[in-house]
Structure 1
Amino acid sequence: MKCLPCHKEDKSIISDRDPKFTSEFWTNLYDILGTKVAFSTAYHPQTDGLAERMIQKIEDILRRFCAYGMEYKDHEEYTHDWVTPLPAVQLAYNTSQNSTTGKTPALVEKRWNLLLPVDHLTKNLLTIHPTAEDFHNMWKRVCDTAAKCIAEAKDYNEQRWDKTHMEPDFKEWDQVLVSTQNFNNLKGPKKMRHSFVGPFTIIKLVGKSAVEVKLTEECSRKHPVFPVSLVKPYFQREEGKFPSRKKNLTPP
């Protein structure tokens, strides 16, 4: 609601399945506003990947920013902590080019690029009052540091993603096992449970990042769509080869 007066209502929203957003009130409000709601796959934050990556990137930027010890003293030798220049970090991010859109966030939202306060200041104006010069120097230093942190965070995240990411190749009617990490109805100690249960049959591919499986009656309360990160292929073993081995049964 805080965004509504400044940015008007959204045409579409990607939301998780929190009861607050699936309630009758919010459903009716979305209908009145003409907002289309796309609910994310359960236990799969990558559904809203752009927002999730932005949050992680901001956290990484702030972590690096704080590591630089961005404290400064004014002309009266008063020390300001790192919280004071945080708006400069926000400004630096909004004026940095996004690798996905090729534009700055400010340009995408407002249709024009923002000018930094230092772009409007001249040396003649800064010499009028020492506090103004202190603030100018601090603001410029913070913006430069924030821009450096943004570039470092971007390079680090790209390298980490390229190193670990692999798209699994699933097809309809494949047999798969599903991770039990989000199954809350299993009996026995958590550490003693099977890591995966199944097999289940894939009946539908939900984009490239999720699959819909045909659940057994015992698992019918679970949402049948799972992210591929929680699914692995099932390979049927030869029954006579290991007769004493217990089968990986579906949860009770």
Structure 2
Amino acid sequence: MGTKLKKSTAYHLQTDDYTEILNKCLEGYLRCMVGEKHSAWVSWLPLTEWWYNTTYHSAIQTTPYEALYGQTPPLHLPYIAGATPVASVDRTLQQREAMRKMLKFHLSRAQDRMKQMADKWRSEREFQVGDLVYLKLQPYRQHSLHKFRNQKLSPRHFGPFPVEARVRKVVYRLSLPSSSRIYPTFHVSQLKKHIGSAVSALTFPQIGSNRALLKSPVRILDRHLVK
């Protein structure tokens, strides 16, 4: 296969980073599965290997299963008790189904709890096509808005901009300037309706292709040529 052995030194992850990432992923998966019974981690190794091989990897842009067999992995089918005559296999598969149902239950309950907490601070907002809205951004996170030296005290709302279309119930597309380097689709929580007739527009700073502010010099004082 053309493989070569490279010896690595301690505390230098760049030598065998793929191995370290693999171990990190497997440890995290086993930690979630054996949280209530740590001594049963060995029995989870086959399912852990299946999970890793059927998970999308950004390094190879596919799953290891597809890279090896050339096809997508089969979907998980629920196990019916008594489908296999081997008692140990039947018991293992029943435990796996019980664990899968428990995980789905806990995940569903966690999602409902997070939704209830988030809905406490939400307000009903709805805009029509053509309405003027202000766009809320975070300049200290948005690299294309690094215009002010003190990012914490810089403006949070820009605009107003007209609503171009309603993509979904809580997603709108705005008509931004042509010089804007921001994707024009935003969640309704980032928008605030413009009230009144007076418009105090605060446009985006002009950003070049290298994410640097486009500045025009007042005058050229000197010139120096470097080869």
> Which protein has greater RCO, CA pairs closer than 8 Å, 6+ apart?
1
TM-score of the superposition, structure 1-length normalised? Answer: 0.45
Larger Rg: 2
